[in-house]
Amino acid sequence: MPFIITGTTMETITIHQRTFVPYLPAATIQQRIQEMGAEIRKDLEGKVPLLLSVLNGSFMFAADLMKTLDFPVEITFVKLASYQGTGTTGSVKQLIGLNEKIAGRSVLVVEDIIDTGITMEHLLKELEQYGPEEIRIATLLFKEEAFRGSFAIDYTGFVVPDKFLVGYGLDYDGLGRNYPDLYTVTT
């Protein structure tokens, strides 16, 4: 069951002259990833799933999630983009494609955040063409208020409000991914 966030006591940060306030501490993120890993282990143990990390935002989450899986797994990366600044552009541009064969395999798409679902809808349509046995989705953050997709999310870390977030892999025009905590922009 995903967590619903209320706030933390970390210090504010500034990126591109915008102030971001604390939202979710690293310890809470790591605790939830351990719990998600336990769910995934239960569902996928005995298979050799392919973790498909959506770059750039999910790289930290994918690495930490993969460490919780104590059975053989592979990982690969695709790069899709639909954000510019603090908002979605409404269109998806594939930048780096899939090189691994996924026919007949269990694929776990690892995403940092799902908001409208446009990016994921695009990716799922592309992946289906390759004939995987199954596709599951793990997202660290889910903006339920913004979601317009028609797909199910198998593993959700946190349900978050429709606010712009930065840190733990998420960026604001290229900066902020390095923070281990999550922050939200002030109004």
The residue written with tokens 């946190």 in the block is 158
pLDDT greater at residue 66 or residue 99: 66
pLDDT at residue 126, rounded to an integer: 87
| Domains defined for the chain, CATH in brackets | 3-7+25-162 (3.40.50.2020)
What mean pLDDT, rounded, does the chain reach?
88
Q: What digits encode the pLDDT tens for the residues 132-170?
A: 999 999 999 999 999 999 999 999 999 999 999 999 999
| pLDDT surpasses 60 at 89 | no
Q: Is the pLDDT of residue 5 over 90?
A: no
Encode pLDDT of 22-65 as tens digits: 999 999 999 999 999 999 999 999 999 999 999 889 999 999 99
List active site positions: 115
The predicted pLDDT at position 4 comes to 42
